[in-house]
Each structure stands twice: as C-alpha cells, then as structure tokens.
Amino acid sequence: MDPGDLAQLSNEQFEFLGDAILGFVISEELVRCFPQYGEGKLSRLKAHLVSANHLHESAHKLELGRFLRLGRGEELSGGRDKRTLITDALEALIAAIYLDGGLEPARRLILDYVTSGGLELIESRFAASQLDYKTALQELVRARKMAQPRYVIARERGPEHSKTFTVEVRVGKDLTAQADGYSKKDASQKAAKEMYLRMESEASDSIAAEE
C-alpha cells in the first residue's frame, strides 16, 4: 500500500485489519500445532487467544498503554490501562506492521506476544481454566461431610471500567483461600481452584504420612 494511502486510514480501519490478520495467524498456528483437534475445540482455543482478557495481557507485555495519545478526560480516568483501548491498539499495531513489512513481521509479533510461551502451554492452561472448580469444591466438601464453601468479596481495585476483584472462599472455620480476577465470577473460580487443589494436596500428604 502506498504510504500516502496509509495516512488516510483511521484507527478503526487499522483495528479491523489487525483483527483479521490476528485471527488468520492464530487459526493457522492452531491447525499446525493441533492437527488432531476438531473445529469445535480449535474454535474455543481461538476465541480464548483473541479474547479481550488475553489480548489485554499481551498488550501489557508490549507496554502499549505508554504510547497511547489520549484526551485529558481519558487520561484522568485511567485510559492507559483501559482494556478496550489497549487491545484495540494492539490490533492496530498488528495491521501497521503488516502494511509496512508484510505478513511475516506481523506473524512474529503475534507469536512473540499473543502466543508467547507456546500454544501447547496455553492450551493446557486454557483446559484447566475450563474446569468448574466451584462445583468440584462443592462435591469435595460434601464427600468429606464439611460445610459448603462461602464466598466473599475481599477487595475491589481499579477504575470502574477495569476493576480487579479479590474473592475469598472459606470452608469451615480455618480453611481460606483468595484469588484475583477481572470479574467476580473469574475470581471466585480461581479461589475455588486454589482451595480445591490445597485440600487435595493435604489429603494426599496425610495418606502418604500414614503409609
């Protein structure tokens, strides 16, 4: 594309193109890495990798918030960490790199930052995150004839558009676990996972000691 034409493109057009390039590269990599997976599982993995939460983490690695040009109101309201703004900026950056240097430099950025650590590791973490640990914890305490878990919001931090929640789960009088998340549901699941894994680990240690 002619440099003069690039100057006429809006941020929204860059974001639109970057989103398409991101989707293509992620789809191609998933098919290459997981030829045994069907369309359904590939689609779920892709949805996770291009989700706002995941792209928000990727944009943070690039420190994109530092380079945003913001109005005074957006600046004062925490716009440099606003999920929508920095994920849009990441998509626009992908498009700009593609238009300037072609697909391979854009692919390298995506592989280095969006799929950093490798797709196999991301897939295993994603699979674990899909487990319903709140239900698993309920079943565990029921099997051990303990009181049902209780969840409380311990803290809320950040501006209204980008809050982080800390949820604490309690089982009985003494067992507690906390976790953070971008939503109360996410934080609750993470706290339940922490508690579930701890209780299972302690049970395994107790059995080993008896043997």
Q: List residues with catalytic annotation.
A: 19, 91
The rounded distance, in Å, linking the Cα atoms of 148 and 144 is 10
* 70 φψ region: left (φ > 0), alpha (ψ -120 to 50), beta (else): beta
CA distances from 166 to 23, 152, 155 (A): 32, 9, 5
The rounded distance, in Å, linking the Cα atoms of 139 and 131 is 13
Token pair for residue 24?
């293509």
CB 60 within 8 A of CB 86: yes
